[in-house]
Structure 1
Amino acid sequence: MTTMKEVAQRAGVSVSTVSLVLNGRDSGRVKTEIAQRVRDTARALDYRPNPLARSLRTSRTRMLGFVSMEVATTPYAGGIILGAQEAASEAGYLLTTVNADGKVNLEQEAATLHRYGVDGFLFSTMSNRVSDIPESLASYPLVLADATDAHNRFPAIVPDEVRIGRDATQRLIDAGLTRIAYIGCTAPLVAQGLRLEGYRQALEHAGIPYRSELVCDVLYNDEALRTVGRLFDEQRPDGVFCFNDSRAWYVYECAARLGLTIGEDVSVVGVDNHPVVSETFSPQLTTVELPHYEMGYWAATKLISMLADSPAEDVRWPATTAPMPPLDAPTPAMIHCTLIERDSVRDTPMD
């Protein structure tokens, strides 16, 4: 393993100069050309810092704790955790993930991470929820992903839910549709009301009256199918915006029973871009992709910037489906989600 002493000898500088440069404390202390020579030399010699030695010097472990409430057991966990892990790794941090399923379990998992000496926490919930943050997390640097704090004390990143509803409905309006239904969710989720608001805004902007009879909220299984069936029998919508991809199945089923063709007689837009659903349907489902990777990456980057006290403008974001907001965006920061075009919406307005 290459040491700082070897880097110093090759670069022709002192070990203390190498230490300042490689620990990011050279600004105003080391000439720019010398600092660059040290970095180039360290790269050429494949110098890698010793995490244990650094933690002893700085009282920092360069470990981040990722605490999830039921997220790790959902199909979307991979995206959030992968984003956070890649951001942490690129900055030289190790991410440790635990999953909790209740307040007591959460306290236990947080206590475990405390014992390992993490520098800060990421906290995430399933489906963008408002959460009461326990003091075991609140006493540390903390950033929320796909969640918000009930008291707005901590930085957070969430999807722009109103924009999701607006963009999805606008796509149907652009196809020339006017009897656009919204199939929502009966569960008390933040996203339900906000996506409905976006649906209403898009209709209003297009001069299409909002009609409550074109809106229904369902959960799952037979009752949901019967409710959507009544909507089709009584209202005959020509376009449907669904709270998520799973609820679009009821639309496909009801359309088939009535002899209607998805993408021609009825157009459909979902939310999630869940591959098991959206790419399995025939025709494949046009949907709004939720930015799980982006939320994880942004949250970890925000936390690391807080720990390092580094300026927000130094961040270089990776190429992603949805553009990430700046680190200094008002909290909660919101991501404008991307509409994924497939075949469930007709291409052009009918004459």
Structure 2
Amino acid sequence: MVTMKEIAKRTGVSISTVSLVMNHRDAGRVKPAIAAHVREVAEELGYQVNPMASSLRTNRTRTIGFISEEVATTPYAGGMILGAQSAASQLGYLLITVSTDGGMDEGEEIDALNRYGADGFLYAKMSNRVTGLPDRLKHSPVVLVDATDADGTIPSIEPDEYRIGYDATKRLVDAGCERIAYVGCSEPMIAQEGRLAGYRAALEEAGRKIDDRLIISVLNNGPALEAVSDLFDWERPDGFFCFNDARAWYVYECAARRGLTIGRDVSVVGVDNHRVFAETFSPQLTTVALPHFEMGYWAAAKVISMIEQRPLDDLQWPETTAPMPPLDAEIPAKVHCTLIEKESVRKA
């Protein structure tokens, strides 16, 4: 096993300098060029941090608890866990995931993570909602994922819902659609408010008058199909921005019943990039991808920066579908989501 002593001998610096660099405590203490050389030699020699020894020295276990509700059991949101695990591993931390679905007691799961000595926590929700932080977490480094606290004081990361609505609607405007409908969600949600506001802003920017008859809010059920069907018959939209890919199915179904072709007679943009919908629809659905991996990665990096009280300037950010905000972004940090071009929007 390669030791710090060997790295020090190879680089000509002291063991204490090597220790500072390997434990990410070199900022302001070691010249950047020397620190970079130490890391380069350590990688060349195959040096690996001994987590047990590091824990004894720093009183840290280098573990992060990921507490989720629905996330761990939702297939297309698994990228959130993957992103968090990727950042944690890159920075020398272990991610422990627990789910509070299926009757699991959230308090008991948090207590278990505390017994393992978790240094910090990620508290994740689905569908971007306002949430309260459990009392058991209030004295630990915590980052909210796909959620915001009511006071806006806890670091958090979420999709930029306004830009989702704006970008999706502008894509339909640019395609030449004249009557653009919004098939929204009837539940009170941050995502619904933001996407509807973005839809309105894109239309106003294009000089279009907002027609509330083209805006409906539905759930995923039979009445939703009926509401979209009525929208087709009464208002005859030629473009649809849908709150999510699941609601886009109603548009595809209603268009087929009327002999209309998606991507030619009617253009559709969804949200989620849900593989079951976005890839199996024919023609394939143009959609805005939600940044699950990006939110997980950013949140893990953020909580580690809080644990170690440093800006992580040496972190090599991965290439991602959507650009991630800086770690010092305002609360809540927002990810500008990427529109994935497929076949459901006609060419202008």
Q: TM-score, normalised by structure 1?
A: 0.93
Name the CA distance, whole Å, in 2 between partners of 1:304 and 1:54: 15
Name structure 1 gaps, 5 residues minimum.
none
* Displacement after TM superposition at 1:102 (Å): 8.8
CA-CA distance at 1:19 after TM superposition: 2.5
Partner residue of 2:159? 159
Amino acid at match of 2:126: M
Partner of 1:210: 210
Distance 1:198 1:2, change over 3 A: same
Q: Which residue of 2 aligns with 1:262?
A: 262
Are the counterparts in 2 of residues 79 and 293 from structure 1 also a CA contact under 8 Å?
A: yes
Give CA-to-partner distance per residue, 1:14-52, whole Å, 9 cap, x none.
Answer: 543432342334456556676555444433331211101
Matches of 1:118 and 1:156, distance apart in 2: 19
Amino acid at match of 1:257: R
- Aligned runs of 1:196-235 on 2, under 5 Å? 196-235=196-235
* Cα deviation digits, residues 156-182 of structure 1 (max 9, x gap): 111110111111111111111111111
Look up the match of 2:275. Answer: 275
Kindly tell me: are residues 9 and 253 of structure 1, through their superposed partners in 2, closer, same or farther at Cα, counting changes over 3 Å?
Answer: same
Amino acid at match of 1:340: I
Q: Does 1:311 align with 2:311?
A: yes
Q: Paired residue for 1:133?
A: 133
* Paired amino acid for 2:147: A
1:20-39 map, 5 Å: 20-26=20-26, 35=35, 38-39=38-39
Deviations 1:83-104 (A, max 9, x none): 1110111111111111113997
Q: Distance in 1 between matches of 2:30 and 2:212?
A: 67
Cα 1:171–1:9, aligned 2, differ >3 Å: closer, same or farther? closer
Corresponding position: 1:195 with 2:191: no
Structure 1: 4+ residue segments shifted above 6 A:
none
Counterpart secondary structure, 1:164: helix
For residues 60-92 of structure 1, the C-alpha deviation after alignment (integer angstroms, 9 at most, x for no partner) is 111011111121111233110011110111111
Superposed displacement of residue 313, structure 1: 4.8
Q: Tell me: CA distance 1:184–1:64, structure 2 relative to 1, closer, same or farther (3 Å).
A: same
User: Residues 41, 289 of structure 1: CA spacing in aligned structure 2 closer, same or farther, 3 A cutoff?
Assistant: closer
Aligned to 2:323: 323
Find the aligned partners of 2:174 and 2:308 in 1 and give their Cα distance: 46
3-state SS of paired residue (2:181): strand
For the pair 1:345 / 2:328, whether they are aligned, the reply is no
Q: Which runs of 5+ in 2 are unaligned?
A: none
Q: Match for residue 284 of structure 2?
A: 284
Report how many aligned residue pairs link the two structures. Answer: 348
One-letter code of the match for 2:45? L
1:216-250 residue CA offsets vs partner (Å, 9 max, x unmatched): 11112321111111111111111111000010110
Distance of 2:164 and 2:21 partners within structure 1: 45
Q: Deviations over 1:168-224 (max 9, x none)?
A: 111111111111111111222211121111111111111111111111111123211
- Cα RMSD (Å): 2.0
Counterparts of 1:36 and 1:205 in 2: how far apart (Å)? 49
Letter in 2 for 1:165: G
Residues in 2 aligned to 1:34 and 1:324: alpha-carbon distance in whole angstroms: 29
CA contact 1:185–1:192 (8 Å) conserved in 2: yes
More off after superposition, 25-34 vs 249-258:
25-34
2:292 is matched by which residue type in structure 1? H
Aligned-partner Cα distance in 2 for 1:126–1:84: 15
**Closer, same or farther: CA 102–188 of 1 in aligned 2, 3 Å:** farther
> SS where residue 345 of structure 2 aligns?
coil
What CA distance in whole angstroms lies between the structure 2 residues aligned with 1:224 and 1:102?
28
**DSSP-derived class of the 1:76 partner:** helix
Q: Which residue of 1 aligns with 2:294?
A: 294
The answer to whether the 8 A contact 1:312-1:326 is kept is: no
CA distance in 1, matches of 2:261, 2:13: 74
1:248 aligns with 2:277: no
Distance 1:216 1:35 in 2: 58
Match of 2:332 in 1: 332
Is the 2:241–2:269 contact (alpha carbons within 8 Å) kept by the matching residues of 1? yes
User: Percent identity among equivalent residues?
Assistant: 64
CA–CA separation in structure 1 for the residues paired with 2:171 and 2:14: 62
Matched residue SS, 2:105: helix
> Which 10-residue stretch deviates more, 103-112 or 144-153?
103-112
Change (3 A) 1:326 1:8: closer
Partner of 1:43: 43
CA distance in 1, matches of 2:158, 2:21: 36
CA distance in 2, matches of 1:33, 1:169: 48
| CA distance, structure 2, for counterparts of residue 303 and residue 152 of structure 1 | 16
Question: Does the 8 A contact of 2:82 with 2:293 survive in 1?
Answer: yes
Shift in Å at residue 9 of structure 1? 4.5
Alpha-carbon distance in 2 for matches of 1:317, 1:45: 23
Distance in 2 between residues matched to 1:208 and 1:335, nearest whole Å: 27
When residues 48 and 175 of structure 1 are mapped into structure 2, their CA distance, relative to the original with a 3 A threshold, is same
Are residues 310 and 233 of structure 1, via their aligned partners in 2, closer, same or farther at CA, if it must alter by over 3 Å? same
Aligned to 2:109: 109
CA distance in 2, matches of 1:292, 1:279: 18
